[in-house]
Structures are given as C-alpha cells and as structure tokens.
Amino acid sequence: MKEYKICIIGFGAVGKGVAKAISLKKDNIKEKYNANLKIVAAADSSSSAISSDGLDEELLLKTKEETGKLESYPNFGGNLNGMEILNEVDYDILIDVTPTNIETGEPALSLTLKAFEDGKDVITSNKGHLAIKFKELIATARENNVQFKYESTVGGAMPIINFVQETLNSCEVESIIGILNGTTNYILSRMTTEGSSYINTLNESQELGIAETDPTQDVEGIDAACKTVILANSILGVDAVYSDVDVTGISQITSEAISLAKKDGYLIKLIGEVSKEELKVSPRLVKQGSQYDLNGTLNMATVKTDLAGDVTVVGKGAGSLETASAILTDLINVIKMK
C-alpha cells in the first residue's frame, strides 16, 4: 500500500468538494489502486490545518462550515498560508484550488512553481496561471520530472482534456467549439424562456448563487476565454496566451435581441471556439434544437477530428462535487503513473 500525502490549498466550493470526494472515495481508491490518500494540510485564504498523521475530511468540512475558517480544526488549526505550508509540510501532491486571477496568475503561479521545484506533482482547477503562462508551466513540470494535471479547469465535470488525450488519441483534432461557461448559459437560457432583461436575470442568478457577486469573469467572457487558451495549448499544441483571444461577453445582449432570434428559430449562446488559426469567445446565433440548445449551467464541446468526425461531450460545467470529480480523476491518473 503506497501512501500519498496531499496538500489542498484553497478551501472554497471546489476545495470543500475535493475533501468531500476524498472522504467518499478513499476506501474505494485504496482497494482499487492500492493507494492510501491522506490530506496532510489544507488552507483557505486566511487559515489552515496541518497534521502529518492526516486530517479528517469530514471534520475539515464541519470546521469550515461552522466557523468559516480552518484554524479552529481541533489541535491542528493554524494560520500558515499556502506558500508557508509548501515550505514546511512534507507532502507528495499539491491540489491547488485557489481562485483564478487572470492578471497575475497568483497565488497559483508561485505555489505551482514552488511545488515543481520541490519535485511534487500538482493538480489544479485554477485557470489564471495556465491562461498566461501555459507553456512555461508545462516546461517546468517536465524539467522537474513531475506530473501536472488540470482537467477541472475546463468544463468542470464535463471531461474534455483527458477525453481527447485518452480516448481520441488516434485522431488529429482540428478544432473545438462549445459552450464553456455555465453561468452565462444559465443567464441566456433564462432570458430566452422568461423574456427577462439581462440585469434582472443576472440579479436572479446572483441570488441563486449561480453568478458571483462580481460576475465580471463570467459575463464578460473572461472565464470562457481562459478555457479556450487551455484547450488550444493542451489539445491543439498551439502556443497561446490570454491576450490572443478575441473576447466579447454577454452584458450587452438585450431581451429584444433574444426574442428576435427566437422568432426565427435561433438562440443566442456564448460560444468559445478554438482552432490553430483563432481563439474566440462571443455571443452567437445557434439553431433551436441543435447541439448548442442546452439549458441551465450545462457545458458542451464538439471536438472536430480527422478520423472520428465530430464528437461531442455534455456535462455539468460547475458544482462543488462535480468539479472535484475531475480533480479526483486527475489524482487517480497521477497515482496510476507513479
């Protein structure tokens, strides 16, 4: 039985999902992969819990839920930040679920490079550092002979990166096109079915927790644009960065535009498109009843290939446990390669 010591840096919705997923699946993973998963450290933005004997996942979740922080985790709570943890704790795999910052890529960038230099494998759900320094990150992982996985950065529980790399590896991928952001898909779908204005629908989405208090990254297309960069680099082998993407969001879409489209049998969707020539995120007319006609926060992507033709995947683009499932798949794949 091999033991894997895990640090979870970031303990928001996705970080909590990872703890829950490990709690639910660790016995199964022990049996199936002969691997013992142990969370030796977890940190949110202002507090932490550390134990070389392993933290109890359910107690971590309970502590966070009851106090909003991790420092009151019994006996092992504290105030180390992510970088301090990586300096002080003995671990094998970093699960980086910090929030995306598209300007600097931090804190994911520094944490990831530090982990690579120390010979640790990294799994991330953070899009910021990937969208601005993908090539450098991959090169540094390779130089240090460590694994770097990022399935959950695109599409949450809709598998797309592993999907193409593992199940379409006989094909050349020509392009990828799809709905890559769940929040904007929810807003546009509601505007279509309810005939409501953009601003009212955004407010409703915020009340439901589907849109964030500051919705900019979603509604201005930034989140989807980051995903096109990650897909371009990882699947098409293009050396692209965030500034290469032609981005238009949905904040200028009126209910009139949507109802005009509807009359003619069309919908307006925020579509991301990735090819060797172009990275683009923009609202587009798509036919009602077509593969793009998906409601709610669903994501979809159609991969155009040379041998297999078009292959489409549809899945939940967000959700704590759903996104964590992609991280756990990455974790299993890291373990399988050890």
Phi, psi (deg, nearest 5) at residue 118: -85, 5
- Can residue 206 be called a binding residue for a copy of itself (CB under 8 A)? no
Amino acid at 69: K
Rounded Cα distance between 233 and 223, Å, is 16
Rounded Cα distance between 76 and 118, Å, is 24
Sign of the CA dihedral running 275, 211, 209, 257: negative
Choice from 83, 138, 285, 313 touching a copy of itself (CB under 8 A): 313
- Can residue 170 be called a binding residue for a copy of itself (CB under 8 A)? yes
For residues 269 and 288, is the Cβ–Cβ distance under 8 A?
A: no
Q: How far is the CB of 180 from a copy of itself (least distance, A)?
A: 16
State the catalytic residue, choosing from 227, 269, 280, 316: 227
Rounded Cα distance between 286 and 243, Å, is 26
Which among 139-147, 152-160, 180-188, 258-266 is the span making contact with a copy of itself, rule CB under 8 A? 152-160
Cβ-proximal residues to 181 (8 Å cutoff; 6+ apart), any chain = 218, 221, 223, 224, 227, 270, 272, 299, 317
- 227 assigned to active site: yes
- Can residue 162 be called a binding residue for a copy of itself (CB under 8 A)? yes
Choice from 168, 241, 257, 285 touching a copy of itself (CB under 8 A): 168
Residue in the structure block whose two tokens are 């009126």: 254
- Write the interaction track for a copy of itself spanning residues 98-137; mark x where CB under 8 A is met and - where it is not: ----------------------------------------
Please state whether the peptide bond connecting residue 215 to the residue before it is cis, i.e. omega within 30 degrees of 0.
Answer: no
- Can residue 36 be called a binding residue for a copy of itself (CB under 8 A)? no
- Can residue 253 be called a binding residue for a copy of itself (CB under 8 A)? no
Which among 72-80, 199-207, 254-262, 326-334 is the span making contact with a copy of itself, rule CB under 8 A? 326-334
Sign of the CA dihedral running 75, 77, 83, 84: negative
- Write the interaction track for a copy of itself spanning residues 9-28; mark x where CB under 8 A is met and - where it is not: ------------x--xx--x
Choice from 117, 136, 166, 239 touching a copy of itself (CB under 8 A): 166
Cα distance between the two ends of the chain: 13
Residues that bind a copy of itself (CB under 8 A): 21, 24-25, 28, 151, 157-159, 162-163, 166-172, 288-289, 291, 293, 305-316, 319, 321-322, 324-326, 328-329, 331-333
